[in-house]
A and B are shown apart, each in its own frame.
Chain A
């Protein structure tokens, strides 16, 4: 088995601040994803990466940057935090060519004051 670790668990930021969220997986999976979860809106894809140094935009990429410098890690940057923003950011990974299962981390909870 493997595990996905997300840091930090909680993040409080200020309006306009650049904030970085980190994700690590030890499944040795090729594909990694970042989702945003808002109450009543389900999970929406921000960025995904099918291999090291690859980046693909999802439906919600505006306002975010991502980085996949190693196979095991995938970072997400909120380029300018919006006042009163509150959401959970979920990282997931999936093995290419195998089962379609995406495995999720526990999430980073963001609050912008």
Chain B
């Protein structure tokens, strides 16, 4: 059973539009949710993260909205740029988990057309 689900698997938007990436999880003990951005040929890099005590986290054009009751979160990329074209992974971890392991979703591939 997939612990972290992401949708859609791929998404195409025009430059300047808002891209919305969805993530949901099963384990109610998860309390830390990082989003990673991965460009082709590179490793993932932390983009933005949120803890379950917050319902929103903003960093420039990237915003996470978090709904603890529904166990859902979303990443909004406003004013999308062609340079935002990448794969985005939602991940989750529980407090005091051995090794602070992260559970990853399968990713959403975003293409921003100029």
Q: How far is the CA of A102 from the CA of B99 in the complex (A)?
A: 11
CB of B99 within 8 A of CB of A100, answer: no
**Residues of A contacting B89 in the complex (Cβ-Cβ under 8 angstroms):** 42-43
Known contacts being A42-B104, A42-B105, A56-B99, is A100 close to B43, with CB within 8 Å? Answer: no
Q: Mark A54-87, 1 if CB is under 8 A from B, else 0.
A: 0010100000000000000000000000000000
Shortest beta-carbon distance, B59 to chain A, in Å? 14
User: Chain A contact residues (Cβ within 8 angstroms of B): what range?
Assistant: 20 to 34
| Residue B98 interfacial (CB < 8 Å) | yes
**Residues of A contacting B43 in the complex (Cβ-Cβ under 8 angstroms):** 4, 90, 92, 104-107
Would you call the interface of chain A mostly helix, strand, loop, or mixed? strand
Known contacts being A31-B99, A48-B101, is A90 close to B44, with CB within 8 Å? Answer: yes
CB of B106 within 8 A of CB of A50, answer: no
CB of A100 within 8 A of CB of B32, answer: yes
B interface residues (Cβ-Cβ under 8 A, vs A): 4, 9, 32, 34, 36, 41-46, 49, 89, 93, 98-102, 104-107
A interface residues (Cβ-Cβ under 8 A, vs B): 4, 31, 33, 35, 40-45, 48, 50, 56, 58, 90, 92, 94, 100-107
In the assembled complex, 18 residue pairs joining A and B whose CB atoms fall closer than 8 Å, in A order, are A41-B106, A42-B105, A42-B107, A43-B44, A45-B102, A90-B44, A100-B93, A100-B100, A101-B49, A102-B46, A102-B102, A103-B46, A104-B44, A105-B43, A106-B41, A106-B43, A107-B41, A107-B42
